[in-house]
Structure 1
Amino acid sequence: MNKTVFITGGAIRIGKEICKKFHQEGFNIICHYNSSSNFANQLSEELNEIRKGSCELIQFDLNEINKYPDFIKKVKSLYESIDILINNASAFYSSPLNDYQEKDWDILHNSNLRGPFLISSFLKE
C-alpha cells in the first residue's frame, strides 16, 4: 500500500495509538507534534524499524497562525499524497473555565478550532 495518513498531535496518548494502528494497516505516517519531541522520535524510530521510511515527523506550533502555509507546504513534500487527515492535536487545561485568561482561550481556539480548519483548507489546495 502506498497511502499516507497525516495525524496532528500524533506523538502521545491517543494520537500515538492512531499512528501505530494505521502503520499496522500499511499506511505511511506523517506524525505532527509540538513539544513532545522525545515521544515523537521514539515513535518514529519504532515505526521506521518495522518499515524503513514509513514515518516522518513534523514539528509545528498550531498557534503560529501566520506560518500555516509553510507548514502545509512542508507536510505535502514528505510523501506523494496525503490520503487521510486526522486532526487529533488539542490544547486543554484542567482548570475551571473562569480561571482562563484571554491568552489561554486563544491557545484553545487556535489548537482546537482554527488549526484543524486551516490544515484542512490548505491541504485541499
Structure 2
Amino acid sequence: MDNSTPIKPGFDSPVALVTGAARRVGACLARRLHGAGYRVAVHYNRSQAEAELLVAELNRIEPASACCLSADLNNAEQVRQLANRARDYWQRLDLLVNNASTFYPTPLAQADQAQWDDLIGSNLQAPLWLSQALADELQQRQGAIVNIVDVHAQRPLKGFPVYSVAKAGLTMLTQSLAKELAPKVRVNGVAPGPILPPEGAAKRDKEAEQKALDSTLLGRYGCPDDIADAVLFLAGQNFITGQILAVDGGKSVC
C-alpha cells in the first residue's frame, strides 16, 4: 500500500487491529491507519467511552470501517477472544499493532508479584499471545506486526525496572517473531522516546520535565503523529523485518 496517498476503506481494504487505541498515541495510530485506507479494530480495556467516540468518528468518515473490541490484556482467554473477534469481524486481518502498555514505577524495594504480572502481561505477554493467535491469518495475508517498544528497552529507566524489562522482552520478541514468521509476515518495532508528557505531568516539578527534554538531542517532546508516521512506514515496507526504529529525538544516542 502507498501510505502517501489517502485511500477510503472499502470491502477489500486491509484490516488493522490496534491495541490500546482509545486514547493518546493509540487513537492517533487508529486515525492515521484509517486515513491510509485500513479498516480499524480499536481495542480498549477501561476506556470504553473514548473508544466508542473514536469508532463513531471513523465510521462517519466511512461507514462500517471501524469497530471497537474490549479485552483485558492480562487475561489470556480474553486475549485469544480479542484475536478471534478482530479476525472474524471483517473476515481478515492484515496488520497487528501492539500498542497497549502499562507504565508506572516499581522501585526495587517496593516491587511485587502483582506489578510484575501486570507490566509483563500488558507489555510483553499480550503481544506474544496475539501474535500467536493471528499468525496463520497474517501469513495468509502476507501481513505485518508492529510492536510499540520504548527507548528504555535499551536504556533502563531508574525506578522502573519491571517496565524496562518488559519492553526489553518486547524487543527480543519482535526479533524472534521476525524469524518465526518469515518469510510471509514482517515483524518490526517502533521505540518512542518522550512523545507525550505522562498523564498527570502538570503535577510534576518543572525540573523533572526539563530533565526529560534535555535527555534528547532535539530538546523537545515528539508528538503522536511521529509514531504514526513510523508505524505506517513499517506497515508499508515489504523488505524490512526484525528492526526496531527509534523515534526518540536522539535520546538513544545521548
Taking structure 2 as the reference length, the TM-score comes to 0.47
Note the residue ranges of structure 2 that are not aligned, 5 or more in a row: 1-8, 137-254
Q: Which amino acid in the other structure matches residue 35 of structure 1?
A: R
Higher alpha-carbon deviation: 100-109 or 55-64:
100-109
Partner of 1:110: helix, strand, or coil? helix
Question: How big is the alpha-carbon RMSD for the aligned residues of Structure 1 and Structure 2?
Answer: 1.3
**Partners of 2:78 and 2:31 in 1: how far apart?**
28
Alignment correspondent of 1:115? 126
Alignment correspondent of 2:26? 15
Greater helix fraction, Structure 1 or Structure 2: 1
Over 3 Å off, 4+ runs: none
1:42 Cα deviation (Å)?
0.9
Q: 1:24 aligns with which of 24, 31, 35?
A: 35
Encode CA deviations 1:32-62: one digit per residue, 9 max, x unaligned.
0100111101101110011010101000000
CA contact (8 A) 2:106 2:115 kept: no
Matched, 1:97 2:107: yes
Higher alpha-carbon deviation: 70-79 or 9-18:
70-79
Alignment correspondent of 2:135? 124
1:96 Cα deviation (Å)?
4.1
**Partners of 1:6 and 1:71 in 2: how far apart?**
9
Alignment correspondent of 1:59? 70
Partner of 1:124: helix, strand, or coil? helix
Note the residue ranges of structure 1 that are not aligned, 5 or more in a row: none
Q: Which has the larger radius of gyration?
A: 2
1:66 Cα deviation (Å)?
3.2
State the aligned residue count: 124
1:90 Cα deviation (Å)?
0.6
1:67 Cα deviation (Å)?
3.4
